[in-house]
Amino acid sequence: MKSTLLAGLVEELKKSGFQAAPDDPSEAGPEDVACDICSGRKLKAVKSCLVCLISFCEKHLQHHYQSPAYAKHKLVEPSKNLHKNICSLHDEVMKIFCRTDQQSICHLCCLDQHKGHDTVSAAAERTERQKDLEESRENIQQRIQDREEDVKLLQQEVEAINGSADKAVEHSQEIFSQEIFSQLIRLMEKRRSDVEQQVRSQQEREVSRVKELQEKMEQEITELKRKDADLQKLSLTEDHNQFLHSYPSLSGPGQPADSSRINIRPLRYFEEVTAAVSEVREKLQDLLTEMWTNVSQAVTEVDVLLPEPEPKTRADFLRFSQRITLDPNTVNRWLILSDRNRRATRTEKPQTYPDHPDRFTYYCQVLSRESLTGRCYWEVDWRGTRVYVTVAYKTIRRVGDSEDCRFGYNDKSWRLECYKDKYQFKHNKVSSPVSGPLSSRVGVYLDHRAGILSFYSVSETMTLLHRVQTTFTQPLHAGLWVNSEASAEFIELK
């Protein structure tokens, strides 16, 4: 209910007949809070009274300043929401705050729905909330300051990235410029010319040797033919004394000292040179491919921002799930692949796989088709007596039984050994004991850029078994080593 004081004020102000002058710039527009006292054209309100719940223009506000009766009234900036200060149940001004229900109430509410609740004056609650607000503002202002500094740092990073990229492009342009390519071409042409010159020189020497020997053979043939003719002539003579006299000189000592047959090498001649040149070409192609892969990887690994934190839950890990399939060209002959090349099983009889330079010839190992960089997660189910869950560089050796070919015995591979009763980790011939719950499923998390490789025991929960922190210099491939009567499968995660 409006007080008699307020009613009298309104009536008095209306009687004053104050009107806005035509085209008065202080006249209230559609977006302004209008004076509730003005009749006709209303002026803009300059204050709202939280006690009277009325907004006043400058003229009508003077009563609040001049009369002692309004001295305790709370004046605020003009507001269109004064009605929200009225209790909808009791039509009274809400000057109390109920902390129990976290809402503003009037004094009658304290006797009704909010009886016995923790209540304070709205002003007291505002004071408490004001403190919280100031703390929030301080935090926000600090965050603004921090973010502004971050923005400056990021701008500096942008400039640094652009400058570094420009230098890299400029350097690559210099390296791959016409002049450099011309130098490479000239070098290759010189090497080609050197090989040709060597081949022709060797050709000339060998042909000369053969012709020299050929001339000797022809001279020997001529001499032998002459001697054969003399012997034939002597065989026809009828004079026995003449025959016996001439025969010793014609028969001579027999065959020449060097009468052995000429041994000719198999007809290969310069085929080995051809093979050697072809090998050089293949190695150059492999080197260029490998080096280009390294360049491409170096480009993709440019990252000025700190990496995201490592996953904690299995759901987090599954965000980075990687489908793994095994490469038939790498599988050892004592392993069989199945389930769309996701499972490897040890066999009792060697398989007749075709020869391939990527195949492991001695150890029962296999690598994945997929080249792994970035952040990846996969899981392996295993059965049997023993399985090694591994990762390795593609450049690991394949042929023979040396340690360079064996997972975990070199600096190109890492393996988690899974036994029925224990785990063990091995890298570069160094073994590390691993403790953790035994499980038939192992999870592997790789953050290639951060150099993190982690192995987990997976069941109802995930338990970290072993974590590697290193620097990976090449893309990785997932791998398996499988013991007799054992198998392992890369699970297709969803």
Distance CA 124, CA 98 (A): 11
DSSP 364: S
The predicted-structure confidence for 78-124, as pLDDT tens digits, reads as follows 988 887 888 888 888 888 999 999 999 998 999 989 999 999 998 89
Q: Is the pTM of this model over 0.85?
A: no
The angle that helices 240-251 and 178-235 make with each other, rounded to 10 degrees, is 160
Judge whether 195 lies within some domain: no
Judge whether 10 lies within some domain: yes
| Domain final position from 57, 85, 113 | 85
Is 178 a residue whose pLDDT tops 80?
A: no
CATH number of the domain that residue 390 is part of? 2.60.120.920
pLDDT mean over 418-428: 95
Q: What are phi and psi of 424, to 5 degrees?
A: -155, 145
Measured from the Cβ of residue 341, the count of other Cβ atoms closer than 10 Å reads 17
Is 475 a residue whose pLDDT tops 70?
A: yes
Taking a C-beta distance cutoff of 8 angstroms, is the pair 33, 27 a contact? no
Judge whether 149 lies within some domain: no
Judge whether 441 lies within some domain: yes
- Among 12, 18, 15, smallest CA distance to 35 is for 18
| Domain final position from 65, 85, 105 | 85
Number of domains in the chain: 2
Judge whether 25 lies within some domain: yes
The predicted-structure confidence for 190-240, as pLDDT tens digits, reads as follows 888 888 888 888 888 888 888 888 888 888 888 889 888 888 888 888 888
Judge whether 280 lies within some domain: no
Judge whether 477 lies within some domain: yes
| Domain final position from 85, 109, 132 | 85
Judge whether 227 lies within some domain: no
CATH number of the domain that residue 49 is part of? 4.10.830
Residue span of the structural domain in which 36 resides? 4-85
